[in-house]
Amino acid sequence: HEGDAVAETLAKLPVHIVHNPSYAQGEMLSSLQAGLLALPDSTAACLVVMGDQPFLDGRVLGRVLSAYVEGRGEIVIPTHRGERGHPVLIGRRFWPDLLAHERGAPRDVIRRYPEQTALIEVHTDSILRDLDTPEEYRRARFLAGLS
């Protein structure tokens, strides 16, 4: 969606843009699959971060990454008051299942591996908050003093 505008905005940043030819299907799964296929073979895990979570607390990223490095789980999911959120870290050995999954959501695959999943309780609801509508976006800008 508006890939050229996104690429132009990010042109000066050290990012590799991956085009998802199936984006119009509206499923996050196809975007994740496109990203996984573009990663180098040396990549041990991926961190799935939603693009519509401007309030995400950076300390959450540190907690999720630390849990993985410490060996607490090959899949790491932050929780707030028992509710799962994002970002989610997924070890490489689960990628074939994600790539073979044809419909649904990545969580359908992740739920097959409860023993390999670490749930990390965090003290912020930023892992649950996203902006899905223009109204939510306007409200967030207002609350941030930007409009």
Tens of pLDDT, residue by residue over 87-107, are 999 999 999 999 999 888 899
Distances, alpha carbon 83 to alpha carbons 39, 53, 89, 104, 127, in Å: 29, 16, 16, 20, 9
Is residue 92 one of the residues assigned to a domain? Answer: yes
Q: Which two tokens stand for residue 132?
A: 């899905």
Residue 99 lies in a domain: yes
Overall domain count for the chain: 1
Residue 23 covered by a domain: no
Residue 112 lies in a domain: yes
Question: Do the domain assignments include residue 65?
Answer: yes
Predicted local distance difference test score (pLDDT) of residue 6? 87
Q: Is residue 12 part of a domain?
A: no
Average pLDDT over the chain, rounded to whole?
A: 92
Q: Residue 71 falls within a domain, yes or no?
A: yes
Is a pLDDT exceeding 70 seen at residue 1?
no
More confident position, 15 or 51: 15
Range of the domain at 114: 43-143
This prediction's pTM? 0.88
Q: Is the pLDDT of residue 26 over 70?
A: no
Please list, residue by residue across 108-131, b when 16 or more beta carbons sit within 10 angstroms of its beta carbon and e when fewer do: ebbeebeeebbebebeeebbbbbb
Q: Residue 4: what pLDDT?
A: 87
Task: State the DSSP H helix or E strand holding residue 4, giving kind and residue range, or none if neither.
Answer: helix 3-9
Listed in order, strand segments (DSSP E) in 1-144 are: 45-48, 75-80, 83-84, 88-91, 117-121
Give domain status of residue 113, yes or no.
Answer: yes
Q: How much is the average pLDDT of 32-43?
A: 96
Please report, for the domain that includes residue 125, its CATH number.
Answer: 3.90.550.10
pLDDT at 24 over 70: yes
Encode pLDDT of 96-144 as tens digits.
999 999 888 899 999 999 999 999 999 999 999 989 899 998 988 898 8
Partners of residue 78 on adjacent β-strands: 120
What's residue 36's pLDDT? 97
143 is written with which tokens? Answer: 């609350």
